[in-house]
């Protein structure tokens, strides 16, 4: 199965009531783990790269990074039987978004969520027009993630969350293909001080009023066994807490179709790498010390695919 449009993956998920994890990468090793997980679970796969990842891959040159990611993912997709797409995560810079669209990304997120509603609409519309003319689908965000977004502390109050009636207007005015409504998650490993809780009433209303595939950002779970393994080998992840699996499964029942996951992959990789290096102090071949980290990242993704219902949906 070839490289596909993210919209195709998500419209099927929306119709059949499941979600697909969207998995962030910065390098080749995470791509191996993700594709292996998709193949073993027979699941569709959405790969995503932040602007930082695109610059990193191009060694500081975003245009080069975008081209390299597209050729890596397209080349890989040609060799497997599952649908694979490539998406820009939290695109804010016009030039990087253009570089990605022109290089052949399957979809982009335009994140103008920090601006007032009208400016968010205008910025989003501009990208939708260009992207759609080239067959690239578009995600946008409404509301702010509660917690830390781009190093800005977002206050934990109602005003930060999505307004479902604004969401309906936003979708109608912009023509986006999928929407990320803020319902109480945040990025990173420290999501909740107290009990984990998301605003499902808001989510249900957004789904009812828009009908679009919906995206949950900041959806990592910080699995206990991964956290414990990392801490056993010297990491300090005190207070780390993610979105529990049962809350993720519930969010899928209320209309989430794309579940953005970066932190869990990063933590799994580092936990296993720490263990390997502690047990093999003489090893310096990256092909050897990246082997168990890739395996653990793959297993974390497979568990997530089963939880979200996308296994055997390729």
Q: Cα–Cα distance between 15 and 211 in angstroms, integer?
A: 10
Binding to ligand 13P by residue 188, rule CB under 6 A?
A: yes
Residue ranges at the known binding site for dihydroxyacetone phosphate: 188, 218-220, 260-263
Side-chain-side CA neighbours of 58 within 13 Å: the count stands at: 21
Query: In the annotation, is 264 catalytic?
Result: no
Q: Which two three-digit tokens encode residue 182?
A: 């803020």
Footprint of Zn ion on 195-214 (CB under 5 A): none
Indicate whether 218 belongs to the interface with ligand 13P (CB under 6 A).
yes
Our CB check for ligand G3H shows the closer of 133 and 151 to be: 151
In 7-154, at which residue ranges do the beta strands (DSSP E only) sit? Answer: 20-24, 45-50, 84-91, 107-110, 137-142, 147-149, 152-154
Q: Residue 191 half-sphere exposure, CB side, CA atoms within 13 Å?
A: 25
Smallest distance from ligand G3H to CB 208, Å: 27
Give the span between the Cα atoms of 8 and 255, in whole angstroms. 16
Task: Write out the binding residues for Zn ion, residues 59-88 only, by CB under 5 A.
Answer: none
Q: What residues between 223 and 282 interact with ligand 13P by CB under 6 A?
A: 260-263
Among candidate residues 8, 36, 61, 89, the one labeled active-site is 89
Which C-beta is closer to ligand G3H: that of 52 or that of 245? 52
Residues 6+ apart with CB under 8 A from 190: 147, 239, 240, 241
Choose between 48 and 275: whose C-beta lies nearer to Zn ion. Answer: 48
- Contacts with Zn ion by CB under 5 A lie at 217, 260
* Site of interaction with ligand 13P (CB under 6 A): 24, 89-90, 187-188, 217-220, 260-263
Active site residues: 89
């Amino acid at each position: 199965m070839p490289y596909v449009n993210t919209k195709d993956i998500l419209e099927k998920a929306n119709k059949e009531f499941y979600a697909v994890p969207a998995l962030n990468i910065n390098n080749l090793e995470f791509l191996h783990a993700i594709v292996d997980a998709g193949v073993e679970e027979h699941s569709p796969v959405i790969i995503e790269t932040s602007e930082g990842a695109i610059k990193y891959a191009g060694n500081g040159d975003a245009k080069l990074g975008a081209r390299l990611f597209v050729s890596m993912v397209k080349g890989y997709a040609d060799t497997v039987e599952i649908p694979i797409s490539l998406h820009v995560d939290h695109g804010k810079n016009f030039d990087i978004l253009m570089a990605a669209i022109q290089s052949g990304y399957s979809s982009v997120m335009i994140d103008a969520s920090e601006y007032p509603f009208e400016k968010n609409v205008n910025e989003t519309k501009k990208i939708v027009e260009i992207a759609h003319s080239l067959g690239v689908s578009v995600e946008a965000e409404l509301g702010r993630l509660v917690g830390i977004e781009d190093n800005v502390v977002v206050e934990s109050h109602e005003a930060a969350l999505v307004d479902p009636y604004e969401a309906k207007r936003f979708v109608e005015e912009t023509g986006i293909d999928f929407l990320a409504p803020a319902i109480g998650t945040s990025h990173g490993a420290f999501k909740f001080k107290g009990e984990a809780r998301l605003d499902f009433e808001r989510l249900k209303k957004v789904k009812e009023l828009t009908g679009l595939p919906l995206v949950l950002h900041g959806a990592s779970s910080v699995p206990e066994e991964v956290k414990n393994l990392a801490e056993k080998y010297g990491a300090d992840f005190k207070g780390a807490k993610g979105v529990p699996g049962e809350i993720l499964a519930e969010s899928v029942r209320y209309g989430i179709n794309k579940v953005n996951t970066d932190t869990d992959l990063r933590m799994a990789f580092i936990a296993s790498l720490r263990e390997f290096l502690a047990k093999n102090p003489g090893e310096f071949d990256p092909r050897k010390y990246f082997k168990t980290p890739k395996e653990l990242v793959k297993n974390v993704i497979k568990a997530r695919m089963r939880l979200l219902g996308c296994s055997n949906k390729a």
